[in-house]
């Protein structure tokens, strides 16, 4: 980038943030997108709303986490806008926003907007983030749906055997950290000890769940393969599994809660749930690999 172009961007950002003009700095460039310290500060505020555990991080840790989160969004957005018109998806954006603020306990958009303003954010910023992530998921589905391999008859037989054998069905509330093989295990576990599992997921996990502290949610034990089922069944609530080697990296699972399901199992309904679970699992794997490829082909410069 020439000095002339850099000067242009500095003037541009000074006009955008007049109250912080002396503080605005260009810190990174992802392909053709400029990132400033203000962008990273805003991303930090957003991530702290999603995961309050990140308050335990020191300033440098939160800065790096926020920068990497922004880089991921920029790369995803560049691919999304090749296939979707963001403006034409405004209705979807509104639905996603409502789902978001309802989940956080806000009664309406006005109250949520006022909260965001107090946090130094605006609601349009959040709408775009939510929309990009949803459209990214749609993109992944359209691109890889023909590569999904599910034998529905096998799944149905497994559910039927479960019913016939009257095995106990448990639901686990789980969180995950999917980390690269190159990650130092001791460093990761030390970080968990110091800052907590959720903060570690945000920093180290390469899964899409990293943005919400690694939370997966409730999953029936019947949805898990034998390797995961064995690991998780031996955990107590609050415990973390040993690293589990899977194709995309090493996996840590935290058991948040456990409960037994005593209601009668509906064969067709449970079969469909397990088919959906397996489809999402494969799509998540495709998403991760596709993003890695895009990032490898991107130009990322630090200033």
* Sequence-separated (6 or more) residues with CB below 8 Å from residue 178: 205, 206, 207, 209, 246, 248, 249, 250, 251, 288
Q: Phi-psi category of 150—alpha, beta or left, where left has phi over 0 and alpha has psi -120 to 50?
A: beta
CA distances from 276 to 110, 132, 169, 280 (A): 35, 22, 18, 6
d(CA 42, CA 286): 29
DSSP three-state, residue 256: strand
CATH topology for the 152-295 domain: Chitinase A; domain 3 (3.10.50)
Q: What is the pLDDT of residue 52?
A: 82
> Using CA atoms, how far apart are residues 44 and 67, in angstroms rounded to an integer?
8
* Angle of the 109-118 helix axis to the 123-144 helix axis, nearest 10: 110
Nearest CA-CA partner of 256 in 282, 270, 235: 235
Rounded to whole angstroms, the Cα distance separating 260 from 220 reads: 9
- What pLDDT does residue 279 have? 93
Residue ranges of the chain that CATH labels 3.10.50.40? 152-295
Task: Give me the residue label for tokens 């130009």.
Answer: 299
Q: Where are the alpha helices (DSSP H) in the chain?
A: 3-16, 37-50, 59-80, 90-103, 109-118, 123-144, 152-165, 185-195, 197-204, 226-233, 267-296
For residue 86, the SS3 value is: coil
d(CA 278, CA 281): 5
pLDDT value for 6: 45
d(CA 182, CA 204): 11
> What is the DSSP secondary structure assignment for residue 298, as one 8-state letter?
S
pTM of the model: 0.79
Return per-residue pLDDT of the chain as tens, 303 residues. 444 444 444 444 434 444 444 478 999 999 999 999 999 999 999 988 888 888 888 899 899 999 999 999 999 999 999 999 999 999 999 999 999 899 888 999 999 999 999 988 989 989 999 999 999 999 999 999 999 999 999 999 988 887 887 667 889 999 999 999 889 999 999 999 988 999 899 889 998 888 788 999 998 887 788 888 888 988 999 999 999 988 888 999 999 999 988 777 888 988 998 899 899 989 999 999 999 999 999 999 988
User: Tokens for 137?
Assistant: 């998921």
Q: What is the pLDDT of residue 166?
A: 65
- Residue 265 has a pLDDT of 80
What was the pLDDT predicted at 241? 93
**Residue 192: alpha-carbon gap to chain centroid:** 18
């Amino acid at each position: 980038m020439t000095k002339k172009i850099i000067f242009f961007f500095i003037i541009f950002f000074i006009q955008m943030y007049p109250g912080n003009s002396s503080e605005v700095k260009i810190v990174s460039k992802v392909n053709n997108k400029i990132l400033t310290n203000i962008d990273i500060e805003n991303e930090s505020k957003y991530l702290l709303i999603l995961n309050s555990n990140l308050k335990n991080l020191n300033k440098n840790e939160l800065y790096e986490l926020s920068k990497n989160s922004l880089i991921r969004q920029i790369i995803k957005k560049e691919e999304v806008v090749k296939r979707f018109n963001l403006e034409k998806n405004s209705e979807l954006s509104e639905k996603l926003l409502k789902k978001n603020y309802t989940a956080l306990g806000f009664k309406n958009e006005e109250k949520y907007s006022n909260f965001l303003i107090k946090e130094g954010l605006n609601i349009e910023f959040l709408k775009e983030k939510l929309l990009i992530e949803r459209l990214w998921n749609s993109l992944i589905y359209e691109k890889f749906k023909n590569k999904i391999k599910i034998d529905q008859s096998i799944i149905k037989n497994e559910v039927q055997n479960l019913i016939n054998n009257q095995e106990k069905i448990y639901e686990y509330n789980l969180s995950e950290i999917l980390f690269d093989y190159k990650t130092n295990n001791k460093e990761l576990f030390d970080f968990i000890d110091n800052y907590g599992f959720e903060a570690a997921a945000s920093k180290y996990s390469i899964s899409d769940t990293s943005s919400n502290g690694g939370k997966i949610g409730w999953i029936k034990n019947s949805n898990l393969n034998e390797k995961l089922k064995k690991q998780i069944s031996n955990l107590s609530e609050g415990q973390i599994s040993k690293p589990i080697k899977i194709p995309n990296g090493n996996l840590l699972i935290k058991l948040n809660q456990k409960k037994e399901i005593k209601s009668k199992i509906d064969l067709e309904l449970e079969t469909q749930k397990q088919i959906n679970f397996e489809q999402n699992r494969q799509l998540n794997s495709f998403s991760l690999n596709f993003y890695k490829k895009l990032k490898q082909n991107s130009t990322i410069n630090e200033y």
